[in-house]
Structure 1
Protein backbone atom coordinates (compact mmCIF):
# COMPACT_ATOMS: atom_id res chain seq x y z
CA UNK A 1 0.00 0.00 0.00
CA UNK A 2 1.53 3.30 -1.08
CA UNK A 3 0.24 6.48 0.53
CA UNK A 4 2.00 9.61 -0.70
CA UNK A 5 0.30 11.83 1.93
CA UNK A 6 1.66 9.93 4.94
CA UNK A 7 5.26 10.77 5.93
CA UNK A 8 7.68 7.93 6.72
CA UNK A 9 7.43 6.66 10.33
CA UNK A 10 9.33 8.70 12.86
CA UNK A 11 8.44 6.67 15.95
CA UNK A 12 10.57 3.54 16.40
CA UNK A 13 9.60 1.12 19.15
CA UNK A 14 12.65 -0.30 20.91
CA UNK A 15 13.30 -3.43 22.91
CA UNK A 16 16.10 -5.29 24.62
CA UNK A 17 16.96 -8.96 24.43
CA UNK A 18 19.01 -11.44 26.43
CA UNK A 19 20.11 -13.00 23.13
CA UNK A 20 19.66 -10.19 20.61
CA UNK A 21 21.22 -12.05 17.69
CA UNK A 22 18.87 -15.02 18.17
CA UNK A 23 15.89 -12.67 18.52
CA UNK A 24 16.83 -10.87 15.29
CA UNK A 25 17.01 -14.20 13.47
CA UNK A 26 13.62 -15.24 14.91
CA UNK A 27 11.88 -11.95 14.02
CA UNK A 28 13.18 -12.20 10.44
CA UNK A 29 12.23 -15.87 10.01
CA UNK A 30 8.95 -15.95 11.96
CA UNK A 31 7.40 -12.59 11.18
CA UNK A 32 9.19 -11.28 8.08
CA UNK A 33 11.06 -8.30 9.46
CA UNK A 34 14.04 -7.29 7.32
CA UNK A 35 17.45 -6.94 8.94
CA UNK A 36 18.56 -3.45 7.96
CA UNK A 37 21.60 -2.97 10.17
CA UNK A 38 23.23 -4.64 13.19
CA UNK A 39 26.12 -3.08 15.14
CA UNK A 40 28.07 -4.90 17.84
CA UNK A 41 30.73 -7.53 18.31
CA UNK A 42 30.39 -11.20 19.15
CA UNK A 43 27.12 -11.97 20.89
CA UNK A 44 26.55 -8.32 21.89
CA UNK A 45 24.29 -6.12 19.77
CA UNK A 46 24.72 -2.42 20.48
CA UNK A 47 22.06 -1.36 17.97
CA UNK A 48 19.94 -3.12 15.37
CA UNK A 49 17.25 -1.88 13.04
CA UNK A 50 14.71 -4.28 11.63
CA UNK A 51 12.45 -2.83 8.95
CA UNK A 52 8.84 -3.86 8.39
CA UNK A 53 7.96 -4.43 4.70
CA UNK A 54 4.94 -2.08 4.86
CA UNK A 55 6.94 0.72 6.53
CA UNK A 56 8.49 1.52 9.87
CA UNK A 57 10.25 -1.02 12.01
CA UNK A 58 11.85 -1.60 15.38
CA UNK A 59 15.21 -1.06 17.00
CA UNK A 60 16.75 -3.43 19.50
CA UNK A 61 19.91 -4.29 21.36
CA UNK A 62 21.42 -6.57 23.96
CA UNK A 63 20.14 -6.16 27.51
CA UNK A 64 23.35 -6.70 29.47
CA UNK A 65 25.22 -3.54 28.70
CA UNK A 66 26.81 -2.95 32.11
CA UNK A 67 26.63 -0.19 34.71
CA UNK A 68 25.38 3.17 33.61
CA UNK A 69 23.00 1.70 31.04
CA UNK A 70 20.87 4.65 29.95
CA UNK A 71 18.14 2.46 28.37
CA UNK A 72 17.55 -0.33 30.90
CA UNK A 73 14.49 -2.02 29.39
CA UNK A 74 13.86 -5.53 30.69
CA UNK A 75 13.79 -8.22 28.00
CA UNK A 76 10.36 -9.67 27.37
CA UNK A 77 8.38 -6.56 28.35
CA UNK A 78 7.74 -5.21 24.85
CA UNK A 79 4.44 -5.37 23.00
CA UNK A 80 3.48 -4.11 19.55
CA UNK A 81 0.66 -4.10 17.03
CA UNK A 82 1.94 -4.46 13.48
CA UNK A 83 -0.12 -3.88 10.33
CA UNK A 84 0.10 -6.70 7.81
CA UNK A 85 -1.85 -7.69 4.71
CA UNK A 86 -1.96 -11.53 4.60
CA UNK A 87 -2.59 -12.48 8.21
CA UNK A 88 -3.25 -16.16 7.57
CA UNK A 89 0.02 -16.59 5.65
CA UNK A 90 1.93 -14.65 8.32
CA UNK A 91 0.35 -16.81 11.04
CA UNK A 92 1.42 -19.97 9.18
CA UNK A 93 4.95 -18.58 8.83
CA UNK A 94 5.09 -17.77 12.55
CA UNK A 95 3.87 -21.25 13.51
CA UNK A 96 6.47 -22.87 11.23
CA UNK A 97 9.22 -20.79 12.86
CA UNK A 98 8.10 -21.87 16.34
CA UNK A 99 6.33 -18.73 17.57
CA UNK A 100 4.09 -19.25 20.59
CA UNK A 101 0.63 -18.34 19.30
CA UNK A 102 -1.40 -16.76 22.10
CA UNK A 103 -4.41 -15.82 19.96
CA UNK A 104 -5.12 -17.54 16.64
CA UNK A 105 -6.32 -15.58 13.60
CA UNK A 106 -9.72 -14.02 14.22
CA UNK A 107 -11.93 -11.21 13.00
CA UNK A 108 -12.52 -8.29 15.37
CA UNK A 109 -15.54 -6.05 15.80
CA UNK A 110 -13.49 -3.09 14.49
CA UNK A 111 -12.83 -4.75 11.13
CA UNK A 112 -9.41 -6.30 11.61
CA UNK A 113 -8.26 -9.85 10.91
CA UNK A 114 -5.44 -10.54 13.37
CA UNK A 115 -3.47 -12.93 15.56
CA UNK A 116 -1.08 -12.58 18.49
CA UNK A 117 2.18 -14.35 19.31
CA UNK A 118 4.99 -14.33 21.82
CA UNK A 119 8.65 -14.38 20.72
CA UNK A 120 11.35 -16.43 22.50
CA UNK A 121 12.24 -13.46 24.75
CA UNK A 122 8.61 -13.15 25.91
CA UNK A 123 7.63 -10.04 23.92
CA UNK A 124 4.05 -9.83 22.65
CA UNK A 125 3.28 -9.26 18.97
CA UNK A 126 -0.13 -8.67 17.46
CA UNK A 127 -0.43 -8.64 13.66
CA UNK A 128 -3.58 -7.35 11.99
CA UNK A 129 -5.13 -5.68 9.00
CA UNK A 130 -6.46 -2.67 10.96
CA UNK A 131 -4.50 0.39 9.84
CA UNK A 132 -5.87 2.78 12.45
CA UNK A 133 -8.32 5.61 12.07
CA UNK A 134 -7.35 8.65 10.00
CA UNK A 135 -6.20 11.69 11.90
CA UNK A 136 -8.41 14.78 11.94
CA UNK A 137 -7.96 16.65 8.70
CA UNK A 138 -6.74 13.65 6.69
Structure 2
Protein backbone atom coordinates (compact mmCIF):
# COMPACT_ATOMS: atom_id res chain seq x y z
CA UNK A 1 0.00 0.00 0.00
CA UNK A 2 1.41 3.38 -1.01
CA UNK A 3 1.98 6.31 1.28
CA UNK A 4 3.04 8.84 -1.38
CA UNK A 5 0.61 10.16 -4.01
CA UNK A 6 1.11 12.77 -6.75
CA UNK A 7 -1.53 15.50 -6.62
CA UNK A 8 -2.37 17.65 -9.66
CA UNK A 9 -4.43 20.83 -9.74
CA UNK A 10 -6.36 21.77 -12.88
CA UNK A 11 -8.41 24.87 -13.69
CA UNK A 12 -11.09 22.52 -15.08
CA UNK A 13 -10.80 19.34 -13.03
CA UNK A 14 -13.83 17.73 -14.68
CA UNK A 15 -12.21 18.07 -18.12
CA UNK A 16 -8.93 16.74 -16.69
CA UNK A 17 -10.65 13.65 -15.29
CA UNK A 18 -12.25 12.96 -18.68
CA UNK A 19 -8.97 13.55 -20.54
CA UNK A 20 -6.91 11.31 -18.26
CA UNK A 21 -9.56 8.59 -18.56
CA UNK A 22 -10.04 8.84 -22.33
CA UNK A 23 -6.52 9.69 -23.49
CA UNK A 24 -4.31 7.86 -21.01
CA UNK A 25 -6.51 5.01 -19.82
CA UNK A 26 -6.89 6.01 -16.17
CA UNK A 27 -9.80 4.50 -14.26
CA UNK A 28 -11.89 6.95 -12.25
CA UNK A 29 -12.06 5.68 -8.68
CA UNK A 30 -13.68 8.65 -6.93
CA UNK A 31 -14.93 12.15 -7.74
CA UNK A 32 -16.12 14.52 -5.01
CA UNK A 33 -17.93 17.71 -5.95
CA UNK A 34 -18.75 20.86 -4.03
CA UNK A 35 -22.29 22.21 -3.76
CA UNK A 36 -21.90 23.98 -7.14
CA UNK A 37 -20.93 20.76 -8.92
CA UNK A 38 -17.23 21.64 -9.24
CA UNK A 39 -14.75 18.79 -8.78
CA UNK A 40 -12.90 19.45 -5.53
CA UNK A 41 -11.16 16.07 -5.27
CA UNK A 42 -10.75 13.08 -7.59
CA UNK A 43 -8.79 9.85 -7.47
CA UNK A 44 -7.74 8.06 -10.65
CA UNK A 45 -6.02 4.69 -10.92
CA UNK A 46 -3.60 3.40 -13.47
CA UNK A 47 -3.01 -0.26 -12.68
CA UNK A 48 -2.06 -0.41 -9.02
CA UNK A 49 -1.05 3.26 -8.85
CA UNK A 50 -3.15 6.28 -7.98
CA UNK A 51 -3.05 10.02 -8.58
CA UNK A 52 -5.25 12.63 -6.98
CA UNK A 53 -6.41 15.88 -8.50
CA UNK A 54 -8.51 18.90 -7.68
CA UNK A 55 -9.88 22.06 -9.21
CA UNK A 56 -7.87 25.27 -9.07
CA UNK A 57 -9.90 26.81 -6.27
CA UNK A 58 -10.44 23.88 -3.92
CA UNK A 59 -11.09 24.26 -0.21
CA UNK A 60 -7.51 23.65 0.90
CA UNK A 61 -4.97 26.44 1.04
CA UNK A 62 -2.93 26.39 -2.17
CA UNK A 63 -0.32 28.87 -3.37
CA UNK A 64 -1.26 30.45 -6.70
CA UNK A 65 1.74 28.92 -8.51
CA UNK A 66 1.21 25.42 -7.11
CA UNK A 67 -0.05 23.25 -9.98
CA UNK A 68 1.56 20.03 -8.80
CA UNK A 69 2.48 18.58 -5.45
CA UNK A 70 3.17 15.34 -3.68
CA UNK A 71 0.84 14.08 -0.94
CA UNK A 72 2.44 11.96 1.77
CA UNK A 73 0.41 10.02 4.33
CA UNK A 74 1.74 10.41 7.87
CA UNK A 75 0.24 9.21 11.12
CA UNK A 76 0.86 12.24 13.37
CA UNK A 77 0.42 15.49 11.44
CA UNK A 78 1.11 17.78 14.36
CA UNK A 79 4.41 16.10 15.26
CA UNK A 80 5.44 16.01 11.58
CA UNK A 81 4.56 19.70 11.17
CA UNK A 82 6.54 20.62 14.29
CA UNK A 83 9.59 18.77 12.99
CA UNK A 84 9.36 20.38 9.54
CA UNK A 85 8.98 23.88 10.99
CA UNK A 86 11.90 23.33 13.40
CA UNK A 87 14.06 22.28 10.43
CA UNK A 88 13.24 25.53 8.63
CA UNK A 89 10.61 24.35 6.15
CA UNK A 90 8.40 27.15 4.86
CA UNK A 91 4.92 26.19 6.06
CA UNK A 92 2.40 27.21 3.39
CA UNK A 93 -0.64 25.72 5.13
CA UNK A 94 -0.73 25.23 8.90
CA UNK A 95 -2.31 21.97 10.12
CA UNK A 96 -6.04 21.91 9.44
CA UNK A 97 -8.91 19.43 9.55
CA UNK A 98 -10.68 18.65 6.28
CA UNK A 99 -14.37 17.95 5.80
CA UNK A 100 -13.48 14.42 4.63
CA UNK A 101 -11.82 13.43 7.91
CA UNK A 102 -8.14 14.10 7.22
CA UNK A 103 -5.74 16.36 9.07
CA UNK A 104 -3.32 18.04 6.66
CA UNK A 105 -0.62 20.66 6.31
CA UNK A 106 1.69 21.77 3.50
CA UNK A 107 5.31 22.91 3.36
CA UNK A 108 7.67 24.17 0.69
CA UNK A 109 11.07 22.46 0.34
CA UNK A 110 14.41 24.14 -0.36
CA UNK A 111 13.77 24.05 -4.14
CA UNK A 112 10.31 25.62 -3.81
CA UNK A 113 8.31 22.41 -4.27
CA UNK A 114 5.16 22.13 -2.17
CA UNK A 115 4.65 18.92 -0.20
CA UNK A 116 1.30 18.07 1.37
CA UNK A 117 1.16 15.81 4.39
CA UNK A 118 -2.03 14.29 5.77
CA UNK A 119 -3.77 11.40 7.39
CA UNK A 120 -6.06 10.65 4.42
CA UNK A 121 -5.23 7.37 2.73
CA UNK A 122 -6.99 6.89 -0.63
Q: Which has the larger radius of gyration?
A: 1
TM-score (norm: length of structure 1): 0.43
Flag the structure with higher strand content.
2
TM-score (norm: length of structure 2): 0.48
